[in-house]
Structures are given as C-alpha cells and as structure tokens.
Amino acid sequence: MKYILVVLIILVIFIIIMLKKQPGYKDRGNLAITAYMENYTGRRKIQEDCMELVSFSKYEILGIIADGMGGFHNGKLASQFSVDRFVDLYSAGDLSVIEILKKINKEILSYSYNIGIENKVGTTFLAGEILYNRLKFFSVGDSSLFLFRKNKLERLNRHQEKKGYLTNYLGYSSFSNAENGEILLEKNDIVLMCSDGLDKFLSFDEIEDIMKHSKNKSSKRIVRKLMDALIEKKSGKQDNVSIIVIK
C-alpha cells in the first residue's frame, strides 16, 4: 500500500510538471475571477444597451455587451434579444461563437424584413470569454475591449466603423464575420468592456488614469470610479453606457 501511495504522488507531480510545459500556461497566482457590471442611461430617453455576466465557475466567466442602435427601430429589442439568444445558444454548446453570431444576425434580419424595415433593426455585440488565464473575445460594431496591464491600458479590438457609421452589426444583410482574438492573461490584469458611451465621452488617457488609481480596488469600485467620472462630465449628449470590469 505504501508503494502505491508513493507511485501516485510521483504521478501527480509528473502531471503538474507536464501541464506547466504546455503552450499558453502562465501562473497567475490566485486564478479566481471577480467581475461587476453597471449601466447608465445618460441623456437618452431609454436604455438601449443590454449586458450580461454569466459565471460558470470561479475560474470561468462570460461577459457580454450589446448596444442597440438608437437611430434605428427597436434598438432595445435587438440588444436584449441578441444577449438572451447568445446565452441560450452558448450554454447549449452545439455551435461555435461565430456560428451563434451568424444565426442571431439572420434572426434579427428576418424579423426586420417581416415588418418591412430590413437593415433597420440592429445592435453591436461584444463578448469576452475568460477561462483560467485565457481570454477569447468576439466583437461586432464599436463597443470597446481594453486590457489594463502594468499601469498601461491597451485596446484589444478595433471599431468596425467608417466616418462615424457602423460597417458591421447584428441585423445587417451585409454582415461580415466578427472580429475575434485570444490573449493570455497575467496576474493583476484587468479586463474592461464598455459600450461607446464610455470612450466617446472619456478620453483614452482619462480612462487609463482612472484605472491606474483604482487598480487595487474591487471590480465594483473600478466600475463606479469610471461611471462617476463620466457623470461629472455633465455632457448634454451623453449616450447610454454599459461597463463590465473583470479581474
């Protein structure tokens, strides 16, 4: 029995060593994930943003922000539908994320066609999927994904727009693939997701400065600091804004 125990211990040590040799492995120390989300209507009459955080375990989380297109019909309906539908299909596990987004695009487009306003029901969509030390993201439109690391803020996605007009969104007959990417996270990294109501009214430098002074605070406190700074601007054109912070 004693020899069996020794063999088992050696086997466990060997597995751990081999795991650390796998591509992409990086020790983040405490891998537990914390997150918080909040939105603000701004100067708009209604909130057309929709967001969601789905926690599968303390090591896995999914963050979503959809910004319904205010210049179109039923922006609130489009954003809410896209988030709810995405969570359902994602949880079922039968389709890839890209396949899910293409399916949602077709469903929104079919709805707009049936009521005679094709291409005029739409929403942007941003999803960030974190499992242990790996972040995968999928982006359609102009919501932003930032990584704050070692006192530096970096945008991870690009805006799909030209001269202020979206060139890609869910509910669009010329929908193209979502931008997608993957990055390995390190200890103390902070992930910031937001609709354009944040980074259109706070500059990149302002957001970075807030992150620098809030990096040791909770996800909730970081969101509140960003939101407070935005509200203090008192802009008469303040758009809806949604913020998710994941640490």
1 inside domain: no
Which of 20-34, 58-72, 110-124, 218-232 has the highest average model confidence (pLDDT)?
A: 218-232
Statement: residue 70 has pLDDT above 80 = no
7 inside domain: no
Q: What is the CATH number of the domain that holds 200?
A: 3.60.40.10
Statement: residue 34 has pLDDT above 60 = yes
At 87-117, the pLDDT tens digits run: 999 999 999 999 999 999 999 999 988 888 8
228 inside domain: yes
- Cα gap 131→242, rounded to integer Å: 22
State the total domains in the chain: 1
What pLDDT is recorded for position 71?
63
27 inside domain: no
Q: Is 48 helix (H, G, I), strand (E, B) or coil?
A: coil
What pLDDT is recorded for position 147?
98
Q: What is the pTM of this model?
A: 0.85
31: Cβ contacts below 8 Å, ≥ 6 apart: 59, 132, 133
Classify burial at 200, counting beta carbons within 10 Å of its beta carbon; exposed 0-12, middle 13-18, buried 19 or more. middle
Helix ranges (DSSP H) in 93-237 = 97-114, 196-199, 204-214, 219-233
Q: Which domain holds residue 149?
A: 35-246
**Residue 58 near residue 132, CB atoms below 8 Å:** no
At 137-167, the pLDDT tens digits run: 999 999 999 999 999 999 999 999 998 889 9
